[in-house]
Amino acid sequence: MVITKGETPMILVIDAVNRDCYRSILDDMFRLRARVFAGRLGWDVQITSYD
C-alpha cells in the first residue's frame, strides 16, 4: 500500500528515531488517553498536563 501526502495510515509506527516528526499526534494521543481514563472511566490517575 502506498500512502500519499494528506492520507492518514491505519497503523503508524512511532519510535525513538521518528517521534519528533509525530509530536502533535503523540500529544493528541496522550490527551485522549487522559480524557478517557480519568474523565470517562473515572480512574484515579495522575495527569500532569491536560487541556
Q: The pTM is what?
A: 0.64
Angle at 21 between CA 19 and CA 29, to 5 degrees: 60
**pLDDT 10s digit of each residue in the chain, 51 long?**
566 677 777 788 999 999 999 899 899 999 999 999 988 999 998 888 755
**pLDDT for the residue numbered 36:** 93
What pLDDT does residue 32 have?
92
Q: What is the pLDDT of residue 9?
A: 72
C-alpha–C-alpha distance, residues 34 and 41, integer Å: 10
What backbone torsions phi and psi does residue 44 show, to the nearest 5 degrees? -85, 85
Q: Could you tell me which of 40, 38, 35 has the C-alpha nearest to residue 51?
A: 35
